[in-house]
């Protein structure tokens, strides 16, 4: 009886010890999980401070200065300043020969800067009319009379600048900066204006 009693007691002790071990293991298993939760929250918090990839890409890219609508009137600037020297004189007016050179130099510079050969005729027309439509009737007529002289002076500067040395100097222009325009850019502007500027009976 005594040995059986001892054996039973030993079994009970073993069972109790096993239960304690299982309880201890269960507690240790739940402990890392509970400690891992703050780490997860921390990672989430740090992740929330980062910008979305799409936003980051949008902010780091550089704008392409050539990325514009070449057929938009708004991309052709300086129209009023370019045509200003074409007003207030005409054929037969004193100094018209020198004024035509000044006006031609201004339009040549504008045609080059605006890269007229890359524009559509409609865009050039719109840029011109944005200035021309704001003129009085007398100013429009005066420009129409002066245009043939301006056009001839521009073509002379492009093809035979040496023959114009005296006129360039008298006009107060720097010969080294003239014509300052490629033939294709000037022709793009001239072709459009020839088609829309009214013809007059004015003579040089």
Quote the CA–CA distance of 98 and 204 in Å, as a whole number.
Answer: 12
Name the nearest CA neighbour of 144 among 200, 87, 79.
Answer: 200
Output the pLDDT for position 49. Answer: 46
Total residue count of the chain as it appears in this document: 204
Please report, in tens digits, the pLDDT of each residue of the chain (204 residues total): 545 555 555 556 556 655 655 555 555 444 444 444 444 444 444 444 444 443 333 332 332 333 334 445 457 999 999 999 999 999 999 999 999 999 999 999 999 999 999 999 999 999 999 999 999 999 999 999 999 999 999 999 999 999 999 999 999 999 999 999 999 999 999 999 999 999 876 544
Q: What per-residue confidence (pLDDT) applies to 147?
A: 98
The predicted model scores a pTM of: 0.64
Are the C-beta atoms of residues 110 and 86 closer than 8 Å to each other? no
Under 8 Å between Cβ of 133 and 186: no
- For helices 137-159 and 96-113, the axis angle rounded to 10 degrees is 80
Within 17-81, strands assigned E span none
């Amino acid at each position: 009886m005594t040995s059986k009693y001892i054996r039973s007691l030993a079994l009970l002790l073993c069972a109790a010890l096993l239960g304690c071990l299982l309880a201890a293991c269960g507690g240790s298993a739940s402990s890392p999980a509970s400690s891992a939760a703050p780490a997860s929250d921390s990672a989430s918090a740090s992740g929330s401070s980062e910008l979305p990839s799409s936003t980051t890409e949008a902010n780091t890219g550089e704008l392409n200065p050539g990325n514009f609508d070449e057929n938009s009137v708004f991309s052709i600037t300086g129209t009023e300043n370019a045509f200003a020297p074409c007003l207030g004189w005409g054929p037969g007016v004193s100094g018209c020969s020198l004024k035509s050179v000044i006006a031609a130099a201004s339009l040549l510079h504008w045609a080059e800067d605006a890269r007229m050969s890359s524009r559509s005729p409609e865009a050039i027309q719109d840029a011109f009319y944005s200035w021309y439509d704001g003129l009085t009737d007398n100013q429009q007529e005066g420009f129409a009379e002066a245009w043939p002289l301006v056009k001839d002076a521009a073509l002379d500067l492009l093809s035979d600048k040496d023959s114009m040395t005296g006129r360039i100097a008298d006009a107060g222009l720097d010969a080294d900066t003239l014509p300052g325009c490629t033939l294709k850019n000037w022709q793009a502007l001239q072709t459009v204006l020839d088609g829309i500027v009214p013809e007059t009976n004015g003579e040089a």
